[in-house]
Every structure is written in structure tokens, then in C-alpha cells.
Structure 1
Amino acid sequence: MSFLRSNRTSAALLLVAAVLGLAIANSPLAQAAQDLQHAHLGLPGLGLDLSVGHWISDGLLAVFFFIVAIELKHEFVEGDLNSVSKAIRPAIAALGGILVPVGVYLAITWGSGYENGWPIPTATDIAFALGVLAVVGRGLPTTVRAFLLALAVLDDLAGILFIATFFTSNAQVGLIALGLILTVIFGALSWRYAALRRRARRPSQKRHRAAEWGLLLAMILIGLLTWYVVYQSGIHATIAGVALGFAMHRAPAHRARYLIEPVSNVAVLPLFAFSAALVTIPTLGETPLAAPFWAIAIALPLGKLIGIVGATLLADRLLRTKQPAILNVGDMLAAGALGGIGFTVSLLMNELAFAGNRAIADQGVLAVIIGSAVSIVLSVALVRWRARHYKRARVAANAATS
């Protein structure tokens, strides 16, 4: 089962699902696939009437964001971001990796009426970026992965904030407050559950097992209710996954992530990638590519690379970082190229930004796929170059000491 939790597996399945979705959308099966995507599965008694596509993007994707939130919390509490000194450098790099793509996007789309899509090229897909690094980056120092992980984690946090802030309409304050209360209750139950788990390890405390199962069931029900309330509040429902992940006690949270991650890697993310990539490639003579297409396709690979590398160099100068903490320019280029793989979160923000314009949303999906594909090709070349560099350095060092 370990391969189902692998970053390599996740990245491979994401890529296959996206390519398959794009291929089917431009084949004789296109109409059948799109009819299925738009078919509604409603729960009238609960006021839920969502299409299959929206069940995936609003429902299943909340599971992915739940896992992301658990990882974020771990990094802030125990990991690479657990102090200001550790977080400041990747934070500056992440900021550069957000501001420069936004600048590129706005420069291209200014006056077009599509400026609201500026958050789309700011995202980094953690699973995909780490997957590429795991596949071709053997031999790289651990500092490269730690830097990329911290950068991507902060990047995803920014993406979550963008979704909550800029893609919310007709928010109902009462339901938002109720969602917060339910989140607090969920967190309190998880702390109680963690305490009972510790006691249950003692031979004299086996009677607590029934209470554990009761608490676990209550947490699942409260979690589902929180998602429902957040969905009805007008905030994008994936925010419920984020809130629950942050609120959960770290012991059961780590266990939950361990159990759910294979499902997310094998089902949730590939289904979302497949659904989002069901886009018919426009014929240039019939549908000219609009400004957002070019803005996203350029801002993801180029804006991210320039922003991350430039901000990291600036951070090193401002903080006067010294070896061995500093990454050399080659490592920065590799990390910057990996940061341009937007994919999952970029696709979601594209869907939200252009929800009222299907033609532009479809072009945005193509742009995200193309921009991410360029970043993948570039990052593979740069990561392999750095891996070979470090391999030669180790061989030379071993030869010198023998």
C-alpha cells in the first residue's frame, strides 16, 4: 500500500487522468462524457442539487484540502516552518512566486475584462511538484526538497485564502458562524479522542474502546455537517476541509492522513483532474484564444520561475544567508521550475474565476495544462541536471578521500 501514498504515484495518476480527460473531450466520446459530468445527483431533502462535476470539485476535493491542511499544520508546528527563522526564507520565495505571476497575468489581461483570474497562476501543486522531484531528483540534497515543500505549503495556504476571500458570493454570516462552531466542536472531539486513545493503550483501560468508536462516529458526522453548512453559507465548500484539518488534534490527524491519502491520490485528485480536463480544444479560426489563456500559460512557467528565484536571491541578500543553509542558483532554478506546476489548485481557481463564462473557463483549463506541462518539462531537465551535478561531486569527493 505504500506506493499508493507515493508522490510518484500521485503525480503519474494526475498526469494520466488529465491527458485522458483531454483526449476523451476531443474524441467521439466527448458528448457522453460531458453529459455524465453535467448530470445532477441531488439530495432534495437537504437542498443539495449538484452535478457530478460539482460533487467532485466541491465535495471530493474537500478531502484533498483536508489532507493539505493537516500537512500545513504539521509544518507550522513540527516541521520546516515551525519557527520564524525557518519560515522566512521560503515565505519570501513564495511571495515572489505569487506576486510576479500576478503581475504577468495582469499585464497581459489589463483592459480585457478578465482581470479577476489573477489568482490562477499563483498556485503550486504539492503532489505533482514533489512527485516530479521524487522521480528524477534522486541524489539531490534534502535541503532542496525541504525548501520546495515549505514553498509549496505556503503557496497552497495563499491559494486557500484566495478561494475563501475572492471566490465567495452571497456569504451568509450566520451559517459561517455555525460552521466555525461545528469546527471547534470537531476539534474538541478530536482532542478527546486522542486522550482516550492514549488511555486505551493501558491494559486496565480497554473499556474506553467503545467510547473511541463513538467519538470517531461523532467526528465523521460533525465533519460532514460542517461541509454541508459551509457549502450552504456561500463559501466554497473545500474551505470546510481546510478548517477541519487545522482544528484536528495532531495524533488522530496524522492517522487520518495516513488512511485517507491513498484514496486522495488514487481517486480524488485523478477524478478532479479528469473532470477539469474535459475541455474541447478550440479551433483558432472559430474561437480566438483570449488574453487569460496567454496570461496563464506564460505566468505559470515563466512568472513562477522568475518570482521564486528572484525572491530567494533577494531573501539571501537581505537575510545574509550563508552556507550550508543557502541553495545555489542551480537549485533555485530547479525549485522555481517545479513551483510552476499549478495543476490542481490552479484548475480549481480557474473554475471559480470564470464560472460564468464557459468558453473562457475552458481556455483557462488548457492554459493551466499547457503552462504546467512546460514547467514539468523544464523542471525535469533542471532537476536531472542538478542530480547529475551532485552525483559527480560525490564521486569526486569519494575519489579524493580514497
Structure 2
Amino acid sequence: MKLLRSARFPAILLLIAAVAGLVIANSPIGHDVIELSHAHLAIPGTPIDLSLTHWVSDGLLVFFFFMVSVELQFELTRGELRSARRAIQPALAAAGGVIVPIAIYLLITAGSGFQEGWPIPTATDIAFALGVLAVFGRGLPSGVRIFLLALAIIDDVVGIVFIAVLFATDLNYGMLAAGLLTTVLFGILSRMLHTRARRLVIALLVVLAALTWVFILLSGVHATIAGVLLGLAMAQTPALVTRHVMEPWVNAVILPLFAFTAALVPIPDFSGPGVSVFWGVLIALPVGKMIGIAGLGWLGQRLVGTPDHPKLALGDLIAVGALGGIGFTVSLLLANLAFAADAVVRDKAVLGVLAGSVISAIAAGILLTLRVRHHRLAGTAVEEQTT
């Protein structure tokens, strides 16, 4: 279990799963596997009828978003985002890492009719980015990891907002209200776990969590938002314990399974429509993220620097910017949502995410290695990077 809670191993699993999905999709059995992933599985007596792929992206991925939300709650109350002074620098860097990739994507896809894919290159995959940092960044000052973590969490908040607002369809306000009500009840009950009726409370929490997912799914808001709501509502101590218990399963099963199903796309004909989407995402992730994060991060440190937060060197900020270009999990989800109605263009967007994320990871590995060497020569390296 310790291995699955480390930063390195889950990132390797994600990459292996994505490569496996892409290879299988383009093998002789690819068509059959893709057809199987589109097979539907319904819950009898309910209107819930999802394909196997959507059971992963709309069902299992809720646990990942719950974990992200719990981490966000912690950072907002006790971590690096607990005050405006602490949050402003990574927030500015995150803003740059959203605005610049959007601008690059829109510039490349201008006039193509596929501009709606602009949210795709805005995401940063926390698990993957921290994994690359753990492998190549041993010896870097601890401030680099802290800055990346804070930036990635803010970045995830932006992605969550995009998912909730941009991809809500045919809103059912009654179901949405029911989901919010069960969320409130979930939050209240989570504060009663210290009572003698602990087992009953846990059972009720499971029921309320399941009902929240059902209501949010049927409301027209993407079902992963249920995980966000529950993570923010839950009392912090039991939420952190729950996150700790879930982490190995999310890292070892849920995220690799999502990466596999999301990457299960045949390589399309690049002479057809949507080629600009591929190039837009491919360039916006590594280039846009690096420029935006390093540029606004550097500017933010000089405009709103604080004495208790040592400034990161520009070289370190550029390396963090490269790590930010590893979009992966959330970017893959955004690609599937943005082009849900056009499988050909969606596949090109997915390939753009995979290629852009790999380029970012390679660039980050090289830059981190150079920065570690620089800090060792300067005598500012630390003995071991936290994983």
C-alpha cells in the first residue's frame, strides 16, 4: 500500500494504462474492445443507463474528485491556500497556466469551428506532475513542490468549474436541489462519527453519498461534481482518513482504468476534420502552460512577494510550468466532454492530450534534472525530495 501512496508509482501506472489503451485500440482486437466499452449497463428500476466507459468517467472517477476536494478543503483551512497572502502567488501562476493555453488553442483553431475545445489544455494532473517531480526533482528546494501542489489544486478548481458550468445539459433543478440537500445531510452526519452510533452513521453516510451521486447525475450536471460537493462538505478529520483509505485504490485501479478507457481511441485520419484540435491541444499544453505559469508566477513573486515565502528562481518556475503541462486525467475528461457529439474530433483531442502531456513530462524531466544540478552546484539542494 505504501508504494501506491507514493508519488512515483501511480504516475507510472497511469502512463502504462494510457499506452495500453492506445495500443489495444489500434490492434486487431481494437474494434471489439471499443465496442465492449460502449456496452450499456443499467440499474433496474431507475433511469440510470450508462455505457461501461461512462461508468468509469461518471461513476468511478467521482472518488478521484472526492480526494481532490478533500485536499482542497485542507489547503483552504490549514495549508498553503489558507490566506489570500499565501494563495495569491500560485493563483496568479495558475491563472497564467489557464489563460495562455486557451489563447494558443483559440489561435490555432481559429475559423475551424472547433473552438469549443478551449478548456481542454487548461488542466494539470496533480498525481502525474508530482510523480515526475518525485522522480527527477530529488534535491530541489521544498518550495518547488509546495508551489506546484498549490498551483495544481487551484488549477483543478478551475477544471471543476468548467465541468460544472460548461458541460451541464438540460438542468433538472429539482434533482440538483435534492443533491444539494443530501450533501448538506452528509456533511452534518459526518460530524457525528464520534458518537456511539458510529456504525449506523457510516451506513447512512454511504447511502447519502450514493443518493448525492444519483441526484447530481440526473440533474444534468456532470456526476463527478458529486465527489467535489461531498469532499467539501465532510468534516475534515474523517475526510482525511477516508482519503487515506481510498488513495491506494484510486491510484491503482480507478485512475489507470480511466486512463485506459480514455486512451482507447483508434488513431484517426489526420487529413480529415479536427486536425487543428489535435495541434491546438498538443501545443497549448506544453508551451502555453510553461509560458503562462512561469511568466505570471515570476511576475506574481515580484509584485506580491511575502517574506515567509522564499522566491523561486525563474529556472524553477519554468520547470514547474513544464510540469503544469501534464494535463492527463482532467484534460482527458474535458476532451471527452467538449467533443462528446463528434467521436472523430474527440479522438484527435484525446491524442493531443496524450502527446502534449508526454512532451511536457519529458521537458519537465530534463528541466528538473538541470535545476537539481544547478542547486547542487550552488549548495542549495536538499538531501531528499518528499514523495
Q: What is the TM-score with the length of structure 1 in the denominator? A: 0.93
Q: 1:376 maps to what in 2?
A: 361
| Alignment match of 1:347 (pick from 332, 345, 352) | 332
Measured in 1, the distance between the counterparts of 2:56 and 2:189 equals: 27
The C-alpha deviation readout for 1:146-169, integer Å capped at 9, x for no partner, is: 000000000000000000010111
SS of 2:37's equivalent in the other structure is: helix
One-letter amino acid of the counterpart of residue 383, structure 1: L
Q: Taking structure 1 as reference, are residues 397 and 189 closer, same or farther at Cα in structure 2, changes over 3 Å only?
A: closer
The C-alpha deviation readout for 1:33-59, integer Å capped at 9, x for no partner, is: 112201111113111111100000000
Measured in 1, the distance between the counterparts of 2:212 and 2:274 equals: 40
What does residue range 279-298 of structure 1 map to in structure 2 within 5 Å? 279-284=265-270, 287=272, 290-298=275-283
SS of 2:124's equivalent in the other structure is: coil
Measured in 1, the distance between the counterparts of 2:264 and 2:121 equals: 20
Contact 2:139 / 2:382 at 8 angstroms: preserved in 1?
A: no
Q: 1:100 maps to what in 2?
A: 100
One-letter amino acid of the counterpart of residue 318, structure 2: L
Query: How many residues end up aligned between the 2 structures?
Result: 383
Measured in 1, the distance between the counterparts of 2:50 and 2:297 equals: 43
Q: 1:330 maps to what in 2?
A: 315
One-letter amino acid of the counterpart of residue 245, structure 1: G
| Alignment match of 1:232 (pick from 200, 203, 218) | 218
Q: Taking structure 1 as reference, are residues 79 and 17 closer, same or farther at Cα in structure 2, changes over 3 Å only?
A: same
Deviation (angstroms), 1:394: 2.9
Measured in 2, the distance between the counterparts of 1:167 and 1:177 equals: 18
Deviation (angstroms), 1:73: 0.6
The C-alpha deviation readout for 1:297-349, integer Å capped at 9, x for no partner, is: 01000000000011012212322556961100110011000000000000001
Q: Taking structure 1 as reference, are residues 101 and 39 closer, same or farther at Cα in structure 2, changes over 3 Å only?
A: same
Q: 2:287 maps to what in 1?
A: 302
| Alignment match of 1:361 (pick from 346, 351, 366) | 346
- Does 2:168 correspond to 1:152? no
SS of 2:199's equivalent in the other structure is: helix
Identity of aligned pairs, percent? Answer: 52
Q: 1:259 maps to what in 2?
A: 245
| Alignment match of 1:316 (pick from 291, 301, 309) | 301
- Does 2:9 correspond to 1:9? yes
SS of 1:41's equivalent in the other structure is: strand
SS of 2:80's equivalent in the other structure is: coil
Measured in 2, the distance between the counterparts of 1:89 and 1:15 equals: 30
SS of 1:62's equivalent in the other structure is: helix
Q: Greater helix percent: which structure?
A: 1
SS of 1:46's equivalent in the other structure is: coil
Q: Taking structure 1 as reference, are residues 281 and 83 closer, same or farther at Cα in structure 2, changes over 3 Å only?
A: same
Cα-Cα RMSD: 1.6
Structure with bigger gyration radius: 1
- Does 2:368 correspond to 1:390? no
One-letter amino acid of the counterpart of residue 152, structure 2: A
Deviation (angstroms), 1:289: 5.2
Q: 1:269 maps to what in 2?
A: 255
Contact 2:119 / 2:334 at 8 angstroms: preserved in 1?
A: yes
One-letter amino acid of the counterpart of residue 33, structure 2: A
SS of 1:50's equivalent in the other structure is: strand
SS of 2:28's equivalent in the other structure is: coil
Q: What is the TM-score with the length of structure 2 in the denominator? A: 0.96
Contact 2:336 / 2:346 at 8 angstroms: preserved in 1?
A: yes
Contact 2:328 / 2:357 at 8 angstroms: preserved in 1?
A: yes
SS of 2:192's equivalent in the other structure is: helix
Deviation (angstroms), 1:395: 8.7
SS of 1:293's equivalent in the other structure is: helix
Greater shift, 320-329 or 117-126, is seen at 320-329
Measured in 2, the distance between the counterparts of 1:395 and 1:212 equals: 49
Q: 2:85 maps to what in 1?
A: 85
